[in-house]
Structure 1
């Protein structure tokens, strides 16, 4: 299993673990594309064990298409990244969520 498969499998499991018959009707996970180009993710933390956890804002700039920005605001993990950095951004969320 590649790193991208494992982080995606982990995210699927994390999402399923939040679904309790109510949470999924109001909250969730969104992954969308940007036009610069890149990706953006929004992961709702409301009602999860992560909703009160601090997350240090992170900015990584390696090049015009190799970058990541991530932070938690209003009980949402939000991030955006270059077109080839989605797996890295999701891995950052996973590491934080698992407490590493």
Structure 2
């Protein structure tokens, strides 16, 4: 069984909650590497409770290898980050997504 703690565990649960027999056929979560090096994350928001919700872009550039940039465009949460900042990027998504729950 996968460790369900931490940002990745939370993202797995969020993804599973979106899967309704239809959503997962058109939308999803993509995590890939960049060649500078780093990570890119794309999380589809269409047909979720986060669709259309404003997201304040974030841009943290602490060094050439320690950085995170996030935004929402075209109903996709997008993050790019340094090679050791993937968890931070996922945390920014989690904080935003769960703040929506608290505001409702």
Question: What is the TM-score normalised by the length of structure 2?
Answer: 0.90
**Cα distance in 2 between the residues matched to 1:18 and 1:79:** 20
Displacement, 1:52?
Answer: 1.2
Unaligned runs of 5+ in 1: none
Structure 1 residue aligned with 2:17:
17
CA distance in 2, matches of 1:77, 1:46: 10
Q: What aligned pairs does 1:1-100 form with structure 2 within 5 A after superposition? A: 5-99=5-99
CA shift for structure 1 position 57: 1.1
User: TM-score, structure 1 length as denominator?
Assistant: 0.94
Count of residues in Structure 1 that have an aligned counterpart in Structure 2 = 97
- RMSD of aligned Cα (Å): 1.3
| Deviating 4+ runs (over 3 angstroms) | none
Between Structure 1 and Structure 2, the one with more strand by share is 1
Distance 1:58 1:9 in 2: 23
